[in-house]
Structure 1
Amino acid sequence: MVVATEAIVLHTLKYAEADVIAHCYTLSDGRKSYMLRRILKSKKGALKISLFQPLTQLEIIANHKNKGTLESIREAKVLYPYKTLHTDVVKGSVVLFLSEVLKDAIQEEEANSALYHYISSAFIFLDALEDFANFHIYFLLNLTQYLGFYPEVTDEKHLYFNLLEGTFQEKSSNGYCEKGSHVEALRQFFGIKIDAIPQIKLNKTTRLEVLHLLIRYYQIHLHGFRKPKSLPILNQLFQ
């Protein structure tokens, strides 16, 4: 079946000498994987490898057999040309990190327009954002709404955050309960709009602790979720 859809590039993997497998999140069908034949050597082909940088937003015409095998792309063009995400070194590191998170977190081959538009609009916003030190924290926390394990915030003023239950509570009840400045910092991200991100001021140590708290939260609630390989690079940023 020939499908015209929007797609966000999650990850690419070189295959053989000149082929690439591109994992994308599509508006029409959720996650899809495409074999891009000879794209690393083709100079006149319709597809260029530059189109498949992490989190690039595309319009594609693709062949979807929907049999769990690799699909193919006939045509592709950039839907939203980023101005900074692939040229700013620091933003590029954030993009690499979050593309790794999305690659592991999203596995469903079914449409989810709310999740798609959240990802799309968030990175368009990041492209224009100047103070983006806390963007990845906001993005990861709010992504859990679409993945099904957003924390229960009814008792968010309680001292402990129970990562297993996704709740705040007065006392520690298991080995998954945490308290401290990183939990206090996390509270600041609940219920805010995306344009309020720069108003939250965190030092580097606290920001890293919040990030590692969220990574652990993902590992608990998403089967097979791995700590991103680019995490050490992100740890060095945002002095």
Structure 2
Amino acid sequence: MLQKTRGIALSYLRYRETSIIARVYTEEFGLQSYIVNGVRSAKSKSNKIAMFQPLTLLEMVVYYKDDRDLHRLSEAKTSYPFQSIPFEVAKSSMAIFVTEMLTKTLKEEASNPMLFRFLIDSVLFLEDARTNYENFHLTFLLKLSFFLGFGPESAREFEDQLHENSVPFLADDELTNALNTMLRQPLGTAIKLSRSGRNELLDALVSYYKIHIDSLGEVKSLPVLREVLG
């Protein structure tokens, strides 16, 4: 049955000669996989594959059956064409990291309006921001953890959980203040954080996620993100 839904592109892999299988977090159905035909064909007149780059916001018409893991896409268009995320190294590095973390952590194949709204608002912030986005990836992970069911209430709780699981992390005043601000304030709030502090907090956050999600595994985009944004 044909259904309309908004979606956020996460990743894709090649499928047969000319198609892809796209992973999309949708407003109506949660995390879904779609076969997209013909996007890699030399005869394709439009660059449709670009619609499935990290965090692209989509409006879709899909074939949906609740007893299937793989669905087909009827129509798709970009609802908010990006002018900065794909073209600025810092933002594109964040987008790749965020989509990898979302792909590893989002499992629910059901509608979650509050989570979807959070993701949309976060993507729009990153796209439109001109200042105060250097800590976006850190604040995003902290806020996402609440939707996943393991958000810390304070910097102290965050640090205690790491210590209980033998993760070495000692928050000085800078890191403590940064963590508490990220937890309590919206994206885009100015936060004083040094390069070394940003790297330390990034590693701590990934370790925190690994404590709560056994299947997280290696985060392949982490070294590049650390180098670009540290």
TM-score of the pair, normalised by structure 2? 0.90
Q: How does 1:100-179 map to 2 (within 5 A)?
A: 100-131=100-131, 132-153=133-154, 156=155, 158=156, 161-163=159-161, 175-176=166-167, 178-179=169-170
**Counterparts of 2:146 and 2:214 in 1: how far apart (Å)?**
17
Displaced runs of 4 or more, over 4 A? 44-47
Q: Deviations over 1:171-203 (max 9, x none)?
A: x6663574233752423322012231xx21211
Unaligned runs of 5+ in 1: 165-171
Measure how far apart 1:69 and its partner are.
2.5
**Counterparts of 1:52 and 1:160 in 2: how far apart (Å)?**
34
Question: CA 1:69 to 1:173, structure 2 compared with 1: closer, same or farther past 3 Å?
Answer: closer
Letter in 2 for 1:97: F
**Counterparts of 2:84 and 2:179 in 1: how far apart (Å)?**
27
Q: Deviations over 1:129-179 (max 9, x none)?
A: 1232111111110011111111133xx5x5981226xxxxxxx66635742
Measure how far apart 1:230 and its partner are.
0.9
Q: How does 1:67-78 map to 2 (within 5 A)?
A: 67-78=67-78
Q: Contact conserved, 1:47 with 1:75, CA < 8 A, in 2?
A: no
**Counterparts of 2:158 and 2:27 in 1: how far apart (Å)?**
38
Give the total of aligned pairs.
Answer: 227
In structure 1, the partner of 2:196 is 205
In structure 2, the partner of 1:180 is 171
**Counterparts of 2:164 and 2:13 in 1: how far apart (Å)?**
43
Letter in 1 for 2:187: I
**Counterparts of 1:27 and 1:51 in 2: how far apart (Å)?**
17
**Counterparts of 1:49 and 1:219 in 2: how far apart (Å)?**
32
Measure how far apart 1:227 and its partner are.
3.2
Q: Contact conserved, 1:22 with 1:34, CA < 8 A, in 2?
A: yes
Question: CA 1:159 to 1:80, structure 2 compared with 1: closer, same or farther past 3 Å?
Answer: closer
Structure 1 position 190 matched with structure 2 position 183: yes
Question: CA 1:173 to 1:11, structure 2 compared with 1: closer, same or farther past 3 Å?
Answer: closer
Measure how far apart 1:32 and its partner are.
0.4
Moved more, 69-78 or 126-135: 126-135
Q: Contact conserved, 1:25 with 1:32, CA < 8 A, in 2?
A: yes
**Counterparts of 2:220 and 2:50 in 1: how far apart (Å)?**
22
More helix by share: 2
**Counterparts of 1:13 and 1:98 in 2: how far apart (Å)?**
17
Q: Contact conserved, 1:46 with 1:75, CA < 8 A, in 2?
A: no
In structure 1, the partner of 2:212 is 221
Aligned with 1:76: secondary structure?
Answer: strand
TM-score of the pair, normalised by structure 1? 0.87
Q: How well do the aligned residues superpose, as a CA RMSD in angstroms?
A: 2.2
**Counterparts of 2:14 and 2:85 in 1: how far apart (Å)?**
22
In structure 1, the partner of 2:88 is 88
**Counterparts of 1:237 and 1:58 in 2: how far apart (Å)?**
28
In structure 2, the partner of 1:38 is 38
Question: CA 1:216 to 1:144, structure 2 compared with 1: closer, same or farther past 3 Å?
Answer: same
Percent identity, aligned pairs only, is 33
Question: CA 1:186 to 1:69, structure 2 compared with 1: closer, same or farther past 3 Å?
Answer: same
